[in-house]
Structure 1
Amino acid sequence: MNAPSVRLASIAAPAAPALLRVVGLRKSYATPQGPLPVLTGVSLSLAPGDTLALMGESGSGKSTLLHLIGALDHADDGEIFIDGVETARLGETARAALRRETIGVVFQQFNLIASLTVAENLAFQARLAGRYDPLWQARLAARLGLEPLLARYPEQLSGGQQQRVAVGRALAARPRLLLADEPTGNLDETTGDAVLGLTLELVAETGCGFLMATHSARLAARLSRQVLLEAGTLAPA
């Protein structure tokens, strides 16, 4: 059976105003043998409501790029604009506020808080952002099939259930930009497909931009655009 074809996105900005704009991003890491270049000039744009799959093999720099966009690390060179604000110009307090209020992140390892119930995990990011909305949280719990699980703790959940909680937690604060790093990597194919389907439905409902790192061409094809990170930069369309 042939693998699904992958449509590479144009590096040019989408027609709608850019929510996210990355220009000439570079990042290296120090090693005993000298600097190891990971990103060597990455540029991309994402509009509100747009969904973009960031493809590439393990070690290609996908996680590094997401961490830089998510204001979790600093680039060596280049620019990242979110809603027109260049994140490199922000101090640590402002960067923390950006992470709380504008960006939602879904990790491959779930990163739920073991001492909190499902309901408390769902509310965690929204409370930090000052946007806790019990009605929106109830809708998320219903859409994600979490209503019977709200009093449970993460260790009492399956992997798919934990990932649905992670998606709900990220969306509970109504972020403008949702980042997901191999969000189905620890799930079987059927569960992973279901989690991604729910995520895409909720992204469409909220109108946030969605950037997902994945090595799966099949999953990438479900998003509206695809780019390939290779040798530290994005492959041409």
Structure 2
Amino acid sequence: MVLSLRSVTKRYQTAEGPLTVLNTVDLDLAAGQSLALTGESGSGKSTLLHLAGALDAPDEGEVTVAGHRLSGLNDSSRAEVRRTRVGIIFQQYNLVPSLTVAANLSFHARLAGRRDVGWEKVLANHLGLTALLERYPEQLSGGQQQRVAIGRTLAARPPLILADEPTGNLDEANGDTVMTLLLDLVRETGAALLMVTHSARLAAMLDRHVVLTGGRIQP
């Protein structure tokens, strides 16, 4: 399993007392699988994504990413997991505005110490970015920027990809195109994909779909 959550519980302190956002959640995701996570606003989707990405820690339970039990890691080791084992695609593209498309594509791979120029060329070709490599983010459309964000994440070949509403800023046609490209590339790399979305239509494009309700996973 690339991602495993076992009896994961997460609480936040509020003025009214502790609020349980995730309640003894179990979840497994294997290499090459894609999983859509849906649920109402405030249901804990983003919290689960942050725990899976080693951006936060559960109050109870265990999160394992690519064989690394996160509870046993110090801050430096957790940062290493984030850098080398996890790729995150945001709704906001978060490209570096001062870098060209080519430099944005290689950014995460350089940080992870596994840059592969040949793979970057393959990604650029698949994502329709070959003619845009010398442009800057401000010169791109929203759909083009999201393609760069996907390529930047996949360039480092992370075993786990987390996507938070990756097509939320795109119209339906562009969103479907970007989603198809993402799924094709995930299958090609053998990565595991966990995607948070509000769209049942997009969720249906993935291998599995679970709903988060009341802090618990509903299959």
SS at match of 1:151: coil
Q: Which amino acid aligns with 1:34?
A: G
Cα distance in 1, alignment partners of residues 67 and 155 from structure 2 = 23
SS at match of 1:160: helix
**1:62 corresponds to which of 39, 45, 50:** 45
**2:79 corresponds to which of 89, 96, 100:** 96
Q: Which amino acid aligns with 1:230?
A: T
Question: Are positions 1:117 and 2:117 aligned together?
Answer: no
**2:188 corresponds to which of 205, 210, 223:** 205
How many residues in Structure 1 have an aligned counterpart in Structure 2?
219
Cα distance in 2, alignment partners of residues 111 and 25 from structure 1 = 29
SS at match of 2:103: helix
Partner of 2:57: 74
Question: Are positions 1:214 and 2:197 aligned together?
Answer: yes
Cα distance in 1, alignment partners of residues 170 and 216 from structure 2 = 28
Question: Are positions 1:108 and 2:88 aligned together?
Answer: no
- Are 2:66 and 2:160, in contact at CA under 8 Å, matched by a contact in 1? no
Q: Which consecutive unaligned segments of at least 5 residues does structure 1 have? A: 1-17
Pairwise CA distance, 1:42: 1.1
Q: Which consecutive unaligned segments of at least 5 residues does structure 2 have? A: none
Cα distance in 2, alignment partners of residues 108 and 27 from structure 1 = 24
The 5 Å alignment of 1:33-182 reads 33-182=16-165
Cα distance in 1, alignment partners of residues 138 and 13 from structure 2 = 37
Cα distance in 1, alignment partners of residues 214 and 40 from structure 2 = 10
Name segments (4+ residues, structure 1) moved above 3 Å: none
- Are 2:66 and 2:85, in contact at CA under 8 Å, matched by a contact in 1? no
Q: What is the TM-score when the length of structure 1 is the normalising length? A: 0.90
Pairwise CA distance, 1:148: 1.5
Cα distance in 1, alignment partners of residues 85 and 128 from structure 2 = 25
The 5 Å alignment of 1:16-27 reads 18-27=1-10
Cα distance in 2, alignment partners of residues 84 and 146 from structure 1 = 34
Q: Which amino acid aligns with 1:86?
A: R
Cα distance in 2, alignment partners of residues 217 and 41 from structure 1 = 25
The 5 Å alignment of 1:179-194 reads 179-194=162-177
Q: What is the TM-score when the length of structure 2 is the normalising length? A: 0.97
CA deviation profile, 1:126-168 (whole Å, cap 9, x unmatched): 0001111111001101100111111111111111111111100
Q: Which amino acid aligns with 2:32?
A: G
Cα distance in 1, alignment partners of residues 42 and 97 from structure 2 = 29
Identity over the aligned pairs, expressed in percent? 60
Question: Are positions 1:228 and 2:211 aligned together?
Answer: yes
